[in-house]
Amino acid sequence: MSKRKKLFKKAAYQETDRCFVQDHKMAGKWSEVFGNDHPITMELGCGKADFSYGLAEKYPERNFVGVDLKMDRMWYPARRAEEAGIRNLAFVCTHLLQLGDQADQHEIDEIWITFPDPFPKKRQAKHRMVNENFLRVYHQALKSGGRLHFKSDNRELFLFGLEVFVKAGLNFHTLTFDLHANEEIGPDPKVKTAYERKFMEMGIPINYVVLSFPEGWEKRFE
């Protein structure tokens, strides 16, 4: 993508309704944005937000927030939602370690991590969205009993995540190494992102896990 095109998309994103940047601290303000107190689902590293868009269309009685570091990625789904009159979908451009500025303590009902960068080199492990530092951020944002969902085509990253989750003492609710072949799992997790469709065409199975934090989990860091 040319620099000029990227700059255009960034500017267009900031002019689109319900699109926020890091300077907008949205924690505690989502009921004002959406005009209701409906449950909130956040998709982290949402990219083009196919997943959030699909669920927002399906569930008008719930609110969805796509979060990504690159606003030029979110420009298209934001404009698409605005043109379609989808009022329960918003976007925030921020780094995930600053998620506390965008979600008040225990404000979010669900968090989805969909196909994050695997950062395959060992020295890059600190950047993986499923390491323990990120778990602390997710725990702070999620309501008590809120669910953390993780989807990935990358088996190595998924196994790394499972090790982190077990070591961190998280509760496991659903686990599969082939999401779309598992008939016991309902349709919502099977809403496909652009990456997901590509991986499935290549015959790569999708890994999926649902987790929650035990009561008093934060005390492990005291």
Identified catalytic residue from 23, 104, 109, 117: 117
* Phi-psi map region of 58: left, alpha, beta (phi>0 left; psi -120 to 50 alpha): alpha
Check: CB of residue 219 under 8 Å from CB of residue 177.
Answer: no
Q: Identify whether 68 is a catalytic site residue.
A: no
Question: E strands, the chain, where?
Answer: 19-21, 40-44, 63-68, 89-93, 108-114, 142-152, 171-176, 207-212
CA–CA dist 133, 218 (Å, integer): 12
Mapped onto helix, strand or coil, the DSSP state of residue 44 is: strand
What are the residues whose beta carbons fall under 8 Å from the beta carbon of 103, sequence distance 6 or more?
26, 27, 30, 42, 140, 141
d(CA 54, CA 59): 9
Beta strand pairing status for 207-212 and 171-176? antiparallel
Catalytic site positions: 117
